[in-house]
A = this chain, B = another copy of it.
């Protein structure tokens, strides 16, 4: 059982979808990643920052999932990062209504001493300088470093982003971001260009169209499970990443074949995340439910053509 370090936001979200709206609820990349990875009972620690306004019950919620929160700094006089967004009718695009950085503006991540030898590091979406700082605190090169990022950093901090991309093993980004980062429309060509930037593995997330895993000339394509309805897509990408990272940390196997399974677990967990607002579905997810959906994924994708 490997150790897993998760860095990312722990935040308040307020979400509007065609199905309804929420007040400030629990959100943030590290939250979704942690809840998802906790499914694998790994020894995980979250590295983040919150303000004095952050409810103890939310922190307890993470602790109760066996996520070490000694690396979650509480700035008593500060306020917690807050994001608010409204999804369009097709649920594939959204408008950001509010972004209040608050304590996140001065965030200096500190990896707890016990986790500086972690085998797997999951760098959730944050300023690339903050992501780099976490890597520099690790005692030795982790077995696998996974990075999530977004177009915002490509617009505002591209040089810093390239610095961290050079140092990581797996990058997870969506299709539009892969195209923006490389200037290539073909995802196959885009993945090859990203390989050349450093990461040996490239995961391109395509939302309802699934996710692709690239490694040298190998490609794996995990479709997304078709759903009756997507209730709230918030956190789906982080949940995917958390499932991926958690499965790798649990198995300790970074082969391409095993990463395929990590992608399937990530997709499976993400398919639950979107069923309710925020973290609600991930807070109450049984092993049996995950197992059943993995079987659905097998039926969805596996076929039997006899080929010599």
Q: Which residues of A are in contact with B by a Cβ distance under 8 Å?
A: 89-90, 185-189, 206, 209-210, 212, 218-223, 226-230, 257, 260-261, 264-265, 291, 294-295, 298-305, 307-308
Q: Which residues of B contact A189 (CB under 8 A)?
A: 228-229
Are B298 and A221 in touch, CB under 8 angstroms? no
Are B206 and A209 in touch, CB under 8 angstroms? yes
Are B218 and A221 in touch, CB under 8 angstroms? no
Cα A308 to Cα B290 in complex, Å, equals 13
In the complex, besides A187-B226, A222-B303, 15 extra interface pairs with C-beta distance below 8 angstroms are A89-B185, A186-B229, A186-B230, A188-B227, A189-B229, A206-B209, A210-B210, A219-B299, A220-B301, A220-B303, A257-B304, A261-B305, A265-B305, A295-B307, A302-B302
Copies of this chain, complex-wide, total 2
Give the distance to chain B from A301, nearest Cβ to Cβ, in Å: 5
Q: A206-B209, A221-B226, A227-B188 are in contact. Are A298 and B294 (CB under 8 A)?
A: no
Q: Which residues of B contact A308 (CB under 8 A)?
A: 291
Cα A188 to Cα B208 in complex, Å, equals 12
